[in-house]
Amino acid sequence: MKTTLITGIGELVTGDASLGDGSALGIVRDAALVIEGERIAWVGAEGAAPAADARVDAAGRAVVPGFVDSHTHLVFAGERSAEFAARMAGEPYTGGGIMTTVAATRAASADELRTHTRRLADETLLLGTTTVEIKSGYGLTVADELKLLEVAAEFTPETTFLGAHVVPAEYVDDRAAFVALVTGEMLEVCAPLARWIDVFCDTGGFDEDETRAVLSAGVAAGLMPRLHGNQLEHGPGVRLAVEFSAASIDHCAYLTREDIDALRGSGVVATLLPGADFSTRGPYPDARALLDAGVRVALATDCNPGSSYVTSMPLVIALAVREMGMTPAEALLAATAGGAAALRRDDIGRLTPGAAADIVLLDAPNHIHLAYRPAGRVVAEVWRRGVRVRAAR
Ligand code: NIG
Ligand code: FE
């Protein structure tokens, strides 16, 4: 198998605390790294590097693991810029615009959705995202949810069935019938294409009993649970996530002390989505309180046309640092190993032998530049599963 040696790495963030400087990021200075096929074969001090078939010189720049964006709604049609402008003029975000996207998405063909998703997925990749999770949820009929998941599965194995996104207009007078559809025929048709089951458990979404019904049915169908909760108000999201041993509870803008205590030691990752709080002018989550309590935190984009038309994990990192009290190191860890934990993956989000060769070369001497130089072209090159996807500028 072909090997490639990256030399001259001024700062190598391995994401393994047992390596390098002993920090949580596991930083090795003046480092080198060997890619073999799709995997990392070796990391260490440059002077000890083995020979390889090809060589790339990082010229003193930093290398970090590819970002793991563990929460997106990438398959959709249309756009909602007017809704964004209205919000910036004072309107609140309610989730009511979701049906606008549902209408556009239902009207789009699988090919149109594929083309649009490809554009967004390529954009995320060039910004350093090497693993993306993609949810359904803009179809809300059996055929349309299937259409979304078929497209999503072409881009990632991390597909999520979010039939319980909102109750569509045609069911508003009979919510129970929609929950029955989601937990019945829709789940049966969609489950083979999904790894995860998700519910929008919030005001405007689904209540505690409905959420429990959907998660239970999803688990019975072999899907693993994750949850949207506490985005728009305080609710039962954390309690349910812990009850179901969900991989992650996402948003977490409104948490009580009891929620944080319940998350501690639960194994449930708190996934924070500052792009959504930025784009809706909602409150940012209290990342400091979560981290200080020892809760595992992930950062993701929540990319969707309504609450967060954000594809950039570097922007998310910058927001987490500037607005949520995370250090640059904590934010990078949350955007890599944290996202991997939120997807229950141990083969991504770190640069150690055996892990996926998902590599971001920064045009910077260290990882702090991701937050320090927001919206700059800090990501220079990306390798995904060992394949170099961006040539040097
Ligand atoms: O995670 N709030 C629920 N779902 C999405 C937003 C969807 C939309 O507004 O289109 C979210 O923020
Ligand atoms: Fe979301």
Q: Closest Cα partner for 273 from 315, 221, 244?
A: 315
Do both 267 and 313 map to the same domain? Answer: yes
Domain count, the chain: 2
Indicate if the pLDDT at residue 100 is higher than 90.
yes
Distance CA 312, CA 301 (A): 7
Q: Apex CA 130: angle with CA 333 and CA 388, to 5°?
A: 120
Q: What is the pLDDT of residues 172-186, one digit of tens each?
A: 999 999 999 999 999
Judge contact between 361 and 381, C-beta under 8 A.
yes
Q: What is the pLDDT of residues 312-342, one digit of tens each?
A: 999 999 999 999 999 999 999 999 999 999 9
Structural domain contains residue 294 = yes
Q: What are phi and psi of 124, to 5 degrees?
A: -65, -40
Q: Closest Cα partner for 132 from 324, 296, 351, 312?
A: 312
Joined tokens for residue 321: 């640092």
Mean per-residue pLDDT, 342-348: 98
How many CB atoms neighbour CB 5 within 10 A?
20
Q: Which amino acid is at 39?
A: R
Strands 39-45 and 27-36, bridge-based pairing:
antiparallel
The residues placing their C-beta within 5 Å of ligand 2, an ion, are 302
Indicate if the pLDDT at residue 53 is higher than 60.
yes
Instruction: Give me the pLDDT at residue 390, please.
Output: 67
- The conformational region for residue 225 under phi > 0 = left, psi -120 to 50 = alpha, else beta, is beta
Q: What is the pLDDT of residues 123-136, one digit of tens each?
A: 999 999 999 999 99
Q: What is the pLDDT of residues 291-301, one digit of tens each?
A: 999 999 999 99
Q: What is the pLDDT of residues 234-260, one digit of tens each?
A: 999 999 999 999 999 999 999 999 999
Do both 289 and 381 map to the same domain? Answer: no
Distance set, CA 52 to CA 3, 9, 196, 302, 383 (Å): 5, 16, 39, 39, 17
Structural domain contains residue 8 = yes
User: What is the DSSP-derived secondary structure letter of residue 308?
Assistant: B
Indicate if the pLDDT at residue 393 is higher than 50.
no
Pocket of ligand 1 contains residue 75 by CB under 6 Å: no
Joined tokens for residue 302: 């929540």
Pocket of ligand 1 contains residue 307 by CB under 6 Å: yes
Structural domain contains residue 312 = yes
Q: Which range marks the domain in which residue 18 is found? A: 3-65+349-388
Do both 39 and 174 map to the same domain? Answer: no
Minimum-distance ligand to the CA of 70? 2
Indicate if the pLDDT at residue 366 is higher than 50.
yes
Structural domain contains residue 332 = yes
CA 85, distance to chain mean position in Å, is 25
Minimum-distance ligand to the CA of 138? 1
Do both 189 and 112 map to the same domain? Answer: yes
Q: What are phi and psi of 35, to 5 degrees?
A: -100, 135
Packing angle, helices 142-153 and 110-126, rounded to 10: 40
Do both 50 and 106 map to the same domain? Answer: no
pLDDT bin (cut points 50, 70, 90) of residue 392 is very low
The atom of ligand 1 lying closest to the CA of 228 is: 1
Do both 362 and 305 map to the same domain? Answer: no
Distance set, CA 334 to CA 35, 131, 161, 202 (Å): 24, 14, 24, 24
Structural domain contains residue 272 = yes
Residue nearest to atom 1 of ligand 1 (CA): 302
Find the CATH number of the domain harbouring 380: 2.30.40.10
Do both 61 and 84 map to the same domain? Answer: no
Distance CA 27, CA 33 (A): 13
Structural domain contains residue 287 = yes
CA of 240 to the centre of ligand 2 (A): 17
Pocket of ligand 1 contains residue 146 by CB under 6 Å: no
Structural domain contains residue 123 = yes
Distance CA 272, CA 285 (A): 7
CA 375, distance to chain mean position in Å, is 19
Minimum-distance ligand to the CA of 134? 2
Strands 359-362 and 379-384, bridge-based pairing:
antiparallel
Domain boundary among 342, 364, 379: 342
Distance CA 268, CA 251 (A): 13
Instruction: Give me the pLDDT at residue 277, please.
Output: 98
Q: Pocket of ligand 1, candidates 71, 72, 91, 98: which has the most ligand atoms within 8 Å of its Cβ, to mutate? A: 98
The atom of ligand 1 lying closest to the CA of 276 is: 12
Do both 11 and 44 map to the same domain? Answer: yes
Do both 301 and 250 map to the same domain? Answer: yes
Do both 178 and 93 map to the same domain? Answer: yes
**What SS3 class is residue 3?**
strand
Find the CATH number of the domain harbouring 111: 3.20.20.140
Joined tokens for residue 266: 């639960």
CA 237, distance to chain mean position in Å, is 18
Structural domain contains residue 393 = no
Q: Is 55 exposed, middle or buried (0-12, 13-18, 19+ CB in 10 A)?
A: middle
Do both 168 and 79 map to the same domain? Answer: yes
Judge contact between 176 and 169, C-beta under 8 A.
no
Joined tokens for residue 145: 């949810």
Q: Pocket of ligand 1, candidates 105, 200, 271: which has the most ligand atoms within 8 Å of its Cβ, to mutate? A: 200
Which residues, 6+ apart, have CB-to-CB distance to 167 below 8 Å? 175, 178, 206
Distance CA 135, CA 98 (A): 14
Pocket of ligand 1 contains residue 97 by CB under 6 Å: yes
Judge contact between 236 and 229, C-beta under 8 A.
yes
Do both 196 and 94 map to the same domain? Answer: yes
